[in-house]
Amino acid sequence: MNTMKNVFWGIALVIFGLIWGLNALDITRINIFFDGWWTLFIIVPCFIGLFNEKEKTGNIIGLVIGIALLLCCLDLLDFNIIWKLSFPTILVIVGLSFIFKDSLNNKINKEINKINKENNSDNEYCATFSSQNVYFDDEEFKGANLTSVFGGVKCDLRKAIIKENQVINCSAIFGGIDIYVPENVKVKIKSNSIFGGISNKRKEVSKDKDEKTIYINATIMFGGIDIK
């Protein structure tokens, strides 16, 4: 995915450089700084994010906002109407993402609900304007609920004993959560994000069917979750 991101940025920079150079040589007269050119700093990254990131809701919202602002700058849309409709549009997009994401991840959804009902974990950790480091060294891990609000939570499972599939329910609101998992477990993700995202930085090497699975059930608003 990083390769695709680099390709997009590379193409954009090459095109921009060629146009600038041709204009400098008076071969072309393409106006690079057209009305609303600054909206490209919203549109291009969000467009790239649609291909580069698993969580797409925030990128879709950003893309819609960027295109709407560009059309307003070009006098094709009324800015006052866009301003009035912006919040309802965001709500509709987020609502649709929740609906279709649950239907697309129905299998993962059922497994998460099943494990949550069976375990009813008492491992709850919340960092509000603070940070927490949680370790499960040499003890059996039976799921956890992690909440970060303007803070940070680090959950280290690398030395934990994992006998069954488990769920980590995460909420990151203007905050961040780092989850370190052992190499001998699989990770499956279900996330609902608004201007945030979740990144799985692990390299899955083993394909052992007997490996246990940790399900990450995440809700993210203006925050981020890293799985390492």
Q: What is the pLDDT along the chain (228 residues), one digit of tens a residue?
A: 456 667 777 787 888 888 888 888 888 887 777 788 888 888 887 887 777 666 667 777 788 888 888 888 888 888 888 788 877 877 787 777 766 666 556 677 777 878 777 776 678 889 999 999 999 998 888 889 999 999 999 999 999 988 889 899 999 988 999 999 988 888 988 887 777 778 887 766 556 666 888 999 888 888 888 898
Domain span at residue 93 reads 2-103
- Compute φ and ψ for 148, nearest 5 degrees: -125, 115
Is residue 90 located within the same domain as residue 130?
no
**pLDDT of amino acid 133:** 92
Is residue 216 located within the same domain as residue 150?
yes
| Residue where a domain stops, chosen among 82, 103, 124 | 103
Cβ(198)–Cβ(219) under 8 Å? no
- Report how far apart, in Å, the C-alpha atoms of 73 and of each of 37, 65, 177 are: 9, 12, 38
| Residue where a domain stops, chosen among 78, 103, 128 | 103
Is residue 87 located within the same domain as residue 197?
no
Contacts made by residues 100-105, CB under 8 angstroms, sequence distance 24+: 101/190, 101/192, 105/190
Count structural domains, the chain: 2
